[in-house]
Structure 1
Amino acid sequence: MLLALISVIVLASTGVWNPFPGVWEWVDRSEPIAEPDVVWQQRIGGTPKSVTFAGDTVLVEQRTRVEARALSTGGQLWERKADWAAVAGAERDAVVVVGKLLVKGYEVLDPTTGVTRRRDDDAVAVWTYRNLLLDARCAQPTDCTLSAWDPRGTAPLWTAFLPGVGSGLFADNPGLRGTRRLSSNRINDGVAGPESVPPLLGFPVDGRVHVVDTATGSVLQNVEPGREERLSVVGGRLLRITARSQDDSCYFAISGRDPATGQEAWHRAGINVRTADKAGCVQREDPQGARNVLIGVGPDAREAVLDGYDGRLLWVGADGEKLVAVDDRYALIRSADQRSVAARALGADRVLWTRPAGGKAGAALTPYAAVIADEKPNRLVALDPRTGRELAVLRTSANALAVGPTGMIVGEGREIGYVRFGGAAVAPVPPAGGGSPGSGQGPGGGDPTPGDDDTCGPKRELCPDPPGGKDG
């Protein structure tokens, strides 16, 4: 064996025959990430922090760099050094925003070429949405300006004054006072990509919450919470959530207030929206939910979904049922026997579809597909959220990283792959439109209405009143 090895080394060094490249290629060969096989599979430089669809490209954010790959082939289009990256805009109007930690400014890049479309040298924080890009810059710690941009625009749409943006607001998409999404094993938290900007945003500054109208830039409220309160901006309302400790228990109440006048629009008591610690009822978390809806637990331990605008109960679970995913339109519920997951339309008393799933199955809802991650055996399944039609079924232990209009990106370690949805492309259903959940107008009120958009807010509060006034 020693003589054979010496012979191979001599042959390789003289250029007669070199088997080592072929051997290394065999050792380094990637195993298929899923079965059936994906459209393409690529090994990237490191484990991705996030993956996002951006038109015909796929943006891969890593620890110290960002790269774009062609959706059709997976081939690398460009690469940049960056500490953070995010996508703003939708489909073919998308842009990539990149920056460095603890360094002011950012760049807006074309997702296909990586060419800089716009550069900013002063912003300390950036928020990215499907239809808007927000940035904040501060001349002094208590003198900050919030600006709104069209993702591909070159001039701000509006600017607003804020007395500081808080020490924790920096880099991309720092937390605001809204809702916390339900999380799931094997499904990336950002699997749905950027959302449309809500009608109102709550900026925490020095213990107060500044409520900003995202259509005009007006600062509608500047509110300090009470000692037992937490403030959150959901569904076009400012929510004052109270958790009071008494008799070794926490007693909860929620007050939804008009952001312009401060008057109470609705009130509910006894619903725990999971904002408080186990000890002392101290509220350190935003309520669970998504966009215009809240998730709570009633005194009878049954889960419920509330409309953030008017406080209506859009869904109340049966004993033992568990909510695993929710958005403005649908809820995915695990059955009490932990053998199936069912989809329901919010505000409508009917089951849309039911699918067998294990007790540890996770799920997520996106504008294009409902994703279920099951175990024993490991599966990733993408379904039409309205009908339950199978779009993709994979035998894989990989994670669902991103979902787009034509397919999804799955990944395991440094390997990522593209799975194309079967049949026709899924038409996105806007997550919020002319009505609020359960109103019968647009999302949540039965089947979503094609053509609805997000520009008017959950109750069309951002649009001019029709003749006769608003009906909500």
Structure 2
Amino acid sequence: MTVIVLAATGVWNPFPAMWDWVDRSEPISEPDVVWQQRIGGTPKSVTIAGDTVVVEQRTRVEARSLATGTQLWERKADWAAVAGGDRDAVVAVGKLLVKGYELLDPTTGVVRRRDDQAVAVWTYRNLLLDARCVQATDCTLSAWEPRGTKPLWTAFLPGVHSGVLADNPELLGTRRLAASRIDSGVAGPEAVPPLLGFPVDGRVHVLDTATGRVLRDLEPGREERLAVVGGRLLRITAASRDGNCSFVVSAVDPATGHEVWRRAGVNLRTADYAGCVQREDPQGARSVLVGVAPDGREAVIDGYDGRLLLVGADGEKLLAVDDRYALVRSADKRSILGHELSVDRTRWTRPAASKSGAALTPYAALIAEEKPSRLIAVDPRTGRELVALRTSANALAVGPNGMIIGEGREIGYVRWGAGTSVGHPSEEGSAPKPNPGGSYAPPSDQGTCGPKRELCDDGG
């Protein structure tokens, strides 16, 4: 009894190994993660920002070392969002219903910039936008480099919805395909699109993110929904005819107002089946759209020029897409097929259960399987496994060298190369080559620039 009391009070610990065992959580995966930590609450979002892991919780945000999982700092905050890339990341934090935000250094938590007037913030890999409103119909939008101290440009908008909106209010773009056990923000912040669509009082303001110029200000028709995708303004019409919804999609160059492409009969899944009312953004990612042809086959459409980048076979199901790759479940529901959108053939095939989910990130394609529960990361071009885990945890964030997984309050980091199996997929090409530091090389810059480099400043 004396020994137990002394140990509990910290005076003396005669069995340190025993107490370490009692305090240790069960491993959340097999093979084991590099590190595993219990945080204060269930995370709302997790983002890898350079050498740190930023964890947003309900009333606070914290940063941990990517190498060890050790907590670096913690702040009270109702919302948090990461802007910037590996070398210039910042963490925007704020309080609900309170104007303003602070930008924190992800490693130290030190305030790099403070604002006390903004009502909304949008975070991207290469830009941060904020909005200030003198009145509900008098707002100014400013663009900043992630660690910049002066705005790159400012623009007038007649409102940004209403009230104080915190981080990343919805704009008129695409909505990603969802997957069970893979967080919707697993890929981290993306590069800002060339154009953004701001919905204000039933109208849409199309803004050029390079200059801040508002190119279009228009009101959708009664049967229309507007979206801004791949540098184009899409006008999606859904009309009820003979008991069915009839769809027409046309793309307009906002700078000139001229129509550049049109497709009829393609369902972008924007409509409510009761009366063909369009309540949703089209499905897709970055500069591509996901459509369903009248014969039920799914297709990937280039938002910029309307080209069909991929048309699935009868019975195939699209699981994930970006502007480089697509992951498709085979018609017999026994395999996942990897496609490169610039190549007109299947790149790789791997066995998969019928209810497997998938997602694409700049560094890896993720596959979540059930019965047994597994998380698998593969190179999206070759299908070669980067990591294969037996776990019921969720994939929370992906970085260049590994990913964060989590279950409840437990999070852990796994590096690429842990528990991989060779020869599982039928693949074309070689395995991803390691960097000098031992990590796998990320895909080419096409993922940032888009298939035609339309997202890059040089346009070359």
TM-score calculated relative to the size of structure 2 = 0.91
Secondary structure of the residue aligned to 2:187 is coil
1:162 maps to amino acid: L
CA distance in 1, matches of 2:447, 2:398: 18
Indicate whether 1:425 and 2:440 are aligned: yes
Secondary structure of the residue aligned to 1:310 is coil
Indicate whether 1:404 and 2:399 are aligned: yes
Aligned ranges 1:259-278 → 2 under 5 Å: 259-278=254-273
Match of 1:231 in 2: 226
1:46 to 13, 37, 41: 41
Indicate whether 1:80 and 2:81 are aligned: no
CA separation of 1:272/1:25 partners in 2, compared to 1, >3 Å: closer, same or farther?
same
1:390 shift after superposition? 1.3
Q: Indicate conservation of the 8 Å contact 1:371/1:382, yes or no.
A: yes
Match of 1:467 in 2: none
Q: Indicate conservation of the 8 Å contact 1:193/1:403, yes or no.
A: yes
Match of 2:252 in 1: 257
Match of 1:325 in 2: 320
1:375 shift after superposition? 1.1
CA separation of 1:11/1:66 partners in 2, compared to 1, >3 Å: closer, same or farther?
closer
2:275 maps to amino acid: G
Aligned ranges 1:9-408 → 2 under 5 Å: 26-167=21-162, 170-408=165-403
CA distance in 2, matches of 1:146, 1:9: 62
Q: Deviations over 1:230-269 (max 9, x none)?
A: 0000000000000001211100000100111211111100
Provide the aligned length of Structure 1 versus Structure 2: 440
In structure 2, list runs of 5 or more residues that go unmatched.
418-433
CA distance in 2, matches of 1:317, 1:42: 42
Q: Indicate conservation of the 8 Å contact 2:322/2:360, yes or no.
A: yes
Q: Deviations over 1:291-314 (max 9, x none)?
A: 100001010000001010111111
In structure 1, list runs of 5 or more residues that go unmatched.
443-452, 464-472
Secondary structure of the residue aligned to 2:226 is strand
1:119 maps to amino acid: R
Q: Indicate conservation of the 8 Å contact 1:97/1:107, yes or no.
A: yes
CA separation of 1:246/1:114 partners in 2, compared to 1, >3 Å: closer, same or farther?
same
Secondary structure of the residue aligned to 2:140 is strand
CA distance in 1, matches of 2:9, 2:264: 83
Match of 1:455 in 2: 456
CA distance in 2, matches of 1:35, 1:12: 32
Segment drifting more, 23-32 vs 174-183: 23-32
Q: Indicate conservation of the 8 Å contact 1:367/1:431, yes or no.
A: no
CA distance in 2, matches of 1:103, 1:219: 28
CA distance in 1, matches of 2:241, 2:394: 43
CA distance in 2, matches of 1:381, 1:60: 22
CA distance in 2, matches of 1:94, 1:14: 42
Q: Indicate conservation of the 8 Å contact 2:395/2:403, yes or no.
A: yes
Secondary structure of the residue aligned to 1:197 is coil
1:346 shift after superposition? 0.9
Q: Deviations over 1:196-249 (max 9, x none)?
A: 000000000000000000000000000100000000000000000000012111
1:377 shift after superposition? 1.1
CA distance in 1, matches of 2:164, 2:298: 32
CA separation of 1:168/1:339 partners in 2, compared to 1, >3 Å: closer, same or farther?
farther
1:168 shift after superposition? 6.9
CA distance in 1, matches of 2:273, 2:370: 30
1:148 shift after superposition? 0.1
CA separation of 1:169/1:426 partners in 2, compared to 1, >3 Å: closer, same or farther?
farther
Secondary structure of the residue aligned to 2:87 is helix
2:456 maps to amino acid: T
Match of 2:422 in 1: none
CA distance in 1, matches of 2:334, 2:140: 51
Segment drifting more, 198-207 vs 345-354: 345-354
CA separation of 1:196/1:17 partners in 2, compared to 1, >3 Å: closer, same or farther?
closer
1:135 maps to amino acid: D
TM-score calculated relative to the size of structure 1 = 0.89
Secondary structure of the residue aligned to 2:313 is coil
CA distance in 2, matches of 1:176, 1:10: 59
CA distance in 1, matches of 2:9, 2:147: 57
Q: Deviations over 1:71-126 (max 9, x none)?
A: 11000000000011011000021111101111000000000000000000000000
1:11 shift after superposition? 8.6
Q: Deviations over 1:413-446 (max 9, x none)?
A: 0000000112532224335566x54xxx56xxxx
Q: Indicate conservation of the 8 Å contact 1:384/1:426, yes or no.
A: no
2:24 maps to amino acid: R
Q: Indicate conservation of the 8 Å contact 1:231/1:238, yes or no.
A: yes
1:21 shift after superposition? 10
CA separation of 1:192/1:168 partners in 2, compared to 1, >3 Å: closer, same or farther?
farther
CA separation of 1:17/1:367 partners in 2, compared to 1, >3 Å: closer, same or farther?
closer
Secondary structure of the residue aligned to 1:272 is coil
CA separation of 1:29/1:306 partners in 2, compared to 1, >3 Å: closer, same or farther?
same
CA separation of 1:227/1:369 partners in 2, compared to 1, >3 Å: closer, same or farther?
same
CA separation of 1:23/1:428 partners in 2, compared to 1, >3 Å: closer, same or farther?
same
Q: Indicate conservation of the 8 Å contact 2:99/2:164, yes or no.
A: no
1:9 shift after superposition? 8.7
CA distance in 2, matches of 1:235, 1:92: 26
CA distance in 2, matches of 1:285, 1:16: 62
Let me know the Cα RMSD of the aligned residues. 2.3
CA separation of 1:406/1:226 partners in 2, compared to 1, >3 Å: closer, same or farther?
same
Q: Indicate conservation of the 8 Å contact 2:100/2:115, yes or no.
A: yes
CA distance in 2, matches of 1:161, 1:202: 14
